[in-house]
Amino acid sequence: MKRKNMLISCAAILLASLTACSSNRKAAVSESETDKQTVEAPPFDADSAYSYVQRQVDFGPRVPNTEAHRACGDYLAQKLEAFGAKVYNQQADLMAYDGTLLKARNIIGAYKPESKKRIALFAHWDCRPWADQDPDKRQRHTPIPGANDGASGVGVLLEIARLIGQQQPALGVDIILLDAEDYGAHNDYTGPRKEEFWCLGSQYWARNPHVPNYNARFGILLDMVGGHDAQFRYEGMSEEYARHINRKVWNVASSLGYGQYFVKEQGNYATDDHLFINQIARIPTIDIIAYSEEHDFFEHWHTLKDDMDAIDRNTLKAVGQTVLQVIFNED
């Protein structure tokens, strides 16, 4: 009996030891998985992003077929190349709703171009040709500065590109700057109004990607992401096509303390570049776009007041850090 009891005791001790070892291994694996799942993204520099917004605005309104547009396009391509991206310049002649032939240019900066696992980040870099929402009716055929509506999203992506050039995430990333987004019909236009009048560059890219058979795990579009006290809600088309990406991004923003910007509520539908990327390219893509119950998008939308006074570094930081945290935690 003593021997049996001793064997049982030894067996119990051995079993307890094995269980403890197993628990330790599980704990180690769990800690390893946690570490793997939570990667600290590099800090987003809002001052740097602001300077990229300012630089674009300094060129003047980036309306297709103008010198400001050509010069700014060259600047954007040069910056992406300087930040270590493989740059594609996608030139296209696109017909506007009024018959104007637009010399458009999509600019793509690819990181880890050999990787099949990719994330696509989008923004449009052109300007609205007309301030057709301006309170001064005499100014409603004047091009807008486009600081928030266009340059803010590009400025955030340029800062992300700079940081990726220093420290790359696990997946390949494409910075895709789309042209001719804002050449939709003027408010005074009396003809038929179609969604296809807008987002000409994204429609072209979706049908003719910069590399054959291009695909990405998901896409994030940034539009009007620099305004004061901006709030971003779940945009309607994003909910229909990529609800899970909305939740991913808004949850990350909340975890970073940016819940006052990324409000977990249903927003309006926006005809924006992501619509055609979802419908034509079939890449689940969301739109981070400012929404205001009072002003639809933001106070100075499509007016001459969409200048650098409309830009808030804090908003650029909230959006940029959130997107960085998302892409650095994909594997």
Tens of pLDDT along the chain (331 residues) come to 333 333 333 344 344 444 444 444 444 433 444 445 789 999 999 999 999 999 999 999 999 999 999 999 999 999 999 999 999 999 999 999 999 999 999 999 999 999 999 999 999 999 999 999 999 999 999 999 999 999 999 999 999 999 999 999 999 999 999 999 999 999 999 999 999 999 999 999 999 999 999 999 999 999 999 999 999 999 999 999 999 999 999 999 999 999 999 999 999 999 999 999 999 999 999 999 998 777 678 899 999 999 999 999 999 999 999 999 999 999 9
3-state secondary structure the chain: CHHHHHHHHHHHHHHHHHHHHHHHHHHHHHHHHHHHHCCCCCCCCHHHHHHHHHHHHHCCCCCCCCHHHHHHHHHHHHHHHHCCCEEEEEEEEEECCCCCEEEEEEEEEEECCCCCCEEEEEEECCCCCCCCCCCCHHHCCCCCCCHHHHHHHHHHHHHHHHHHHHCCCCCEEEEEEECCCCCCCCCCCCCCCCHHHCCHHHHHHHHCCCCCCCCCCEEEEEECCCECCCCEEECHHHHHHHHHHHHHHHHHHHHCCCCCCEEEEECCCCCCHHHHHHHHHCCCEEEEEECECCCECCCCCCCCCCCHHHECHHHHHHHHHHHHHHHHCCC
CA 255 distance to own-chain centroid: 18
The whole-number pLDDT of residue 6 equals 35
pTM summary value: 0.88
- CATH number corresponding to 44-328: 3.40.630.10
Shortest CA distance to 109 belongs to which of 149, 154, 53?
154
The whole-number pLDDT of residue 31 equals 41
The whole-number pLDDT of residue 146 equals 98
